[in-house]
Structure formats: C-alpha cells, structure tokens
Amino acid sequence: MARRRPDVHPLQAPHDDAGLQPERTSLAWGRTLLVLLVVACIFLRWMQTQGWLGAVLALLSVFAALYIWMTQQRRYRSSAQAIHTGRLRADVVSVLFTGAVVACLAGVSLWAVLGSS
C-alpha cells in the first residue's frame, strides 16, 4: 500500500500548473478512448453485412482503447512530474500506436465499404 504525504490532499493536483496541462492532456486521451469504444460498437453492427471483418475491427478498436486506459495513469504522472522538473518526454509510442491503429481501421473500413460496391 502506497503511503500518502500528509501535506497533500487526495483531490489536490500533484503539480502547480495553473493551466492544468496534465488534466487537459488526460481528458484528450480519455476522449480518444471513448471514441475508440464507440467505433468498436459501430463495427459490431457491421457484423451483419461484413461478417468476421466487423468483429476483427471491433476487437482492434477495443484493444487500442484498453491500451490507452492501461497507460493513462503513467502518462498523467509523468506529465505532472515534468512540471516540477521542467523536462517532459513526449509519449511517442502511445501517439504512434494510436495513429497506426486509427489509420489501419480507416484503411480497412474504406476497403470494406468500397470493395463491396
């Protein structure tokens, strides 16, 4: 069990940024996660017409959303810590992974829609 510092209230932000940059970034990743889950639901409806392809695309969307959810706390902590140190390393892996998944979903979706015409 992690021990809390007595001078830090649990609802208090672990940084002194008046602009709340870590919170804004966290909210943006949360919106991305939500969009991927909505897209997964849309792909589940594709199963009626596209069959197994809809299920594969839905699973890919859910796995990407799970990845974002599992790495969210680490990203927030590093962003809050960067305010104290003045040095922030961008999370290139998460950005590239999310971009690659979205590009793959878009490409296969276009292929499925235009190929079935």
The whole-number pLDDT of residue 82 equals 73
58 within domain boundaries: yes
Structural domain contains residue 10: no
Whether 30 maps to a domain, the answer reads yes
Total domains in the chain come to 1
- pLDDT tens digit string along 34-78? 999 999 999 999 988 888 999 999 999 999 999 999 988 888 777
Confidence tier at 11 by pLDDT (50, 70, 90): very low
Residue-range definition of the domain harbouring residue 106: 21-115
pLDDT tens, position by position, 77-112:
777 777 767 777 777 888 899 999 999 999 999 998
The answer, as to whether pTM is greater than 0.85, is no
Q: Which residues contact 63 (CB under 8 A, 6 or more apart)?
A: none
Q: Return all residues near 21 (Cβ < 8 A) that are at least 6 apart.
A: 79, 83
Tell me whether residue 8 is in a domain: no
